[in-house]
């Protein structure tokens, strides 16, 4: 079974600064996907970014980028130019066989 570990229960950052959220996972599979989902106070899950394990290039989506280290089984999320609207719970997720396994989440607060 896969496990996903987010070691930072809470983090805070000043508006306009950069923050990195950590995620590690454990699997014996070679083909899989990794995701970061955002859950704001509304509790709607929103996809932030996706990474295919077979791709070496790190995924980027505007202010969001990942550092994917397959050998180390690490998948961190970097948020640049943080905005107040980025305040949310962030979940790292491992995807394989069309199922998702979520980490426990990191509560990110962006301070003005």
Nearer to another protein, 13 or 107 (CB): 107
**For the chain, where are the E strands, in sequence order?**
3-5, 10-14, 19-21, 24-26, 33-39, 46-52, 60-61, 64-69, 74-79, 88-96, 99-102, 106-111
Task: In angstroms, give the least distance from the CB of 98 to another protein.
Answer: 6
* Binding positions for another protein, 31-90, rule CB under 8 A: 32-33, 35, 37, 42-47, 50, 52
Nearer to another protein, 47 or 84 (CB): 47
Task: In angstroms, give the least distance from the CB of 56 to another protein.
Answer: 17
Task: In angstroms, give the least distance from the CB of 52 to another protein.
Answer: 7
Nearer to another protein, 37 or 75 (CB): 37
Distance CA 17, CA 15 (A): 6
What phi, psi does 30 have (nearest 5°)? Answer: -110, -25
Distance CA 105, CA 92 (A): 7
Size of the site for another protein (CB under 8 A): 24
Distance CA 102, CA 94 (A): 7
What is the contact surface with another protein in residues (CB under 8 A)?
A: 32-33, 35, 37, 42-47, 50, 52, 91, 95-105
């Amino acid at each position: 079974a896969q496990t996903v570990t987010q070691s930072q229960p809470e983090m805070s950052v000043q508006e306009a600064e950069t923050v990195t959220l950590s995620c590690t996972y454990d699997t014996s599979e070679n083909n899989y996907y990794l995701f970061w989902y955002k859950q704001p106070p509304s509790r709607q899950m929103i996809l932030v970014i996706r990474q295919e394990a077979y791709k070496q290039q790190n995924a980027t989506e505007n202010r969001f980028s990942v550092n994917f280290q397959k050998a180390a089984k690490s998948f961190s999320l970097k948020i640049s130019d943080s905005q107040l609207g980025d305040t949310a719970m962030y979940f790292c997720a491992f995807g394989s066989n069309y199922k998702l396994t979520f980490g426990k989440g990191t509560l990110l607060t962006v301070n003005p």
